[in-house]
Amino acid sequence: MEKTEPVRRPEPRHAVLAVHAHPDDESLWTGGLLARSADAGRPTAVVTCTDGELADGGSFAAPGVRTKEWGEALRVLGVTSSAMLPYRDSGRHGQGAGSLCAAPFDVVVADLVEQIRVLRPTAVVTYDAAGASGHLDHIRVHRATLAAVEAAAVPFLLPSHGPAWAVESLWLVTAPSSLVGHAAAVGLQPADVPSTPDDRITVSLDVRPWLATKWAALRCHASEFERGASVSAFTDPTLRELGLGTESFLHRPGPGAPADGGVPAL
Ligand SMILES: [Zn+2]
């Protein structure tokens, strides 16, 4: 009988790939997880879908500033690989030529399939179905990332975008209801922003040991602080520990999930 070689699956290249919408989201929502992974010697990757420049012609900062700040933040977080997709911030109304929300959905998914196949992450992290904060670009990134994780594992889909890669687990960053309640009580935000009941959260990661690194990364986005964006509230150390000291995630098995059905460590 002819001997057949077992099919060899290539090694993952990154422990975690975080897919985000805008420069600063990597630090704000997943900075602790990324710094913790880097500290443990586990390679990380970040794909950011827009350069943070507004598609409607307005701008939060001079051209190129937000991309430069993003690069500095990734260095602080020890991110191994990164990419920025060629879309613009859709703003509050999800509009504008070149914006992420105006781009054909399949094109965005194909871009992410290519990134997943090149970066070969074990786990992919993105926003929950409400975009963690309700921003339309975040919701778009959630949907496109889920579709891309599935498509990336199917060899006959987009074969020109690289060899198939099956992600083991998906982690959706979310805002716990208790935290949103606290933030509303101190006037940081309205009480009706999206949130997830605390007892539905799979993992609440205590990232306080990496809070100084996370904060240093967030501070790289100086133009956001200059314009008084909501991140400025975390200049207060008490609010910083409350708002940024824990990162909360929902688990979804990926197409390469282990057969035992267990929840892998993040
Ligand atoms: Zn954002």
Q: For 180-227, how does the pLDDT look when each residue is reduced to its tens digit (9 = 90+)?
A: 888 888 877 777 889 999 999 999 999 999 999 999 999 999 999 999
What's the 16 CA to ligand 1 centre distance in angstroms? 19
What's the 138 CA to ligand 1 centre distance in angstroms? 6
In a domain, 237, yes or no: yes
* Separation between Cα atoms, residue 152 and residue 166, nearest integer Å: 7
pLDDT at 220: 98
* Separation between Cα atoms, residue 252 and residue 123, nearest integer Å: 10
* Separation between Cα atoms, residue 214 and residue 262, nearest integer Å: 29
What's the 265 CA to ligand 1 centre distance in angstroms? 26
Whole-prediction pTM value? 0.95
- One DSSP character per residue, 144-188 reads HHHHHHHHHT-TTSSGGG-S----SEEEEEE-BHHHHHHHHHTTS
Residue 110 has pLDDT above 70, yes or no: yes
* Separation between Cα atoms, residue 6 and residue 107, nearest integer Å: 35
What's the 25 CA to ligand 1 centre distance in angstroms? 5
- Note the Cα 11 to chain centre separation in Å: 22
Q: Name the average pLDDT for the chain.
A: 93
What's the 120 CA to ligand 1 centre distance in angstroms? 24
What's the 206 CA to ligand 1 centre distance in angstroms? 22
In a domain, 105, yes or no: yes
Burial of 89 (0-12, 13-18, 19+ CB in 10 A): buried
What's the 141 CA to ligand 1 centre distance in angstroms? 10
In a domain, 208, yes or no: yes
Residue 1 has pLDDT above 60, yes or no: no
In a domain, 47, yes or no: yes
Q: What percent of the chain is predicted at pLDDT more than 70?
A: 97
What's the 142 CA to ligand 1 centre distance in angstroms? 12
What's the 259 CA to ligand 1 centre distance in angstroms? 34
Helix (H) or strand (E) run with residue 89 in it: strand 81-89
What's the 22 CA to ligand 1 centre distance in angstroms? 5
In a domain, 223, yes or no: yes
What's the 133 CA to ligand 1 centre distance in angstroms? 8
What's the 41 CA to ligand 1 centre distance in angstroms? 27
pLDDT at 195: 93
Q: Select the more confidently predicted residue: 124 or 4.
A: 124
What's the 166 CA to ligand 1 centre distance in angstroms? 27
pLDDT at 37: 98
* Separation between Cα atoms, residue 220 and residue 231, nearest integer Å: 12
What's the 230 CA to ligand 1 centre distance in angstroms? 11
pLDDT at 192: 82
List the domain range (segments joined by +) for residue 28.
Answer: 14-253
Q: Is residue 194 within 8 Å of residue 131, measured between CB atoms?
A: yes
**CATH code, domain with 209:** 3.40.50.10320
| 2-11, 62-71, 86-95, 167-176, range with the lowest pLDDT | 2-11
Domain count along the chain: 1
What's the 119 CA to ligand 1 centre distance in angstroms? 22
What's the 130 CA to ligand 1 centre distance in angstroms? 12
In a domain, 9, yes or no: no
Average pLDDT of the segment spanning 221-249: 93
What's the 10 CA to ligand 1 centre distance in angstroms? 33
Question: For 13-71, what is each residue's pLDDT tens digit?
Answer: 999 999 999 999 999 999 999 999 999 999 999 999 999 998 887 788 888 999 999 99
In a domain, 236, yes or no: yes
For the beta sheet containing 81-89, the strands, ordered from the edge strand earlier in sequence to the opposite edge, are 81-89, 44-54, 14-20, 121-127, 169-174, 246-253, 203-206
* Separation between Cα atoms, residue 218 and residue 247, nearest integer Å: 15
* Separation between Cα atoms, residue 77 and residue 245, nearest integer Å: 15
What's the 163 CA to ligand 1 centre distance in angstroms? 30
DSSP conformational letter for 90:
-
In a domain, 263, yes or no: no
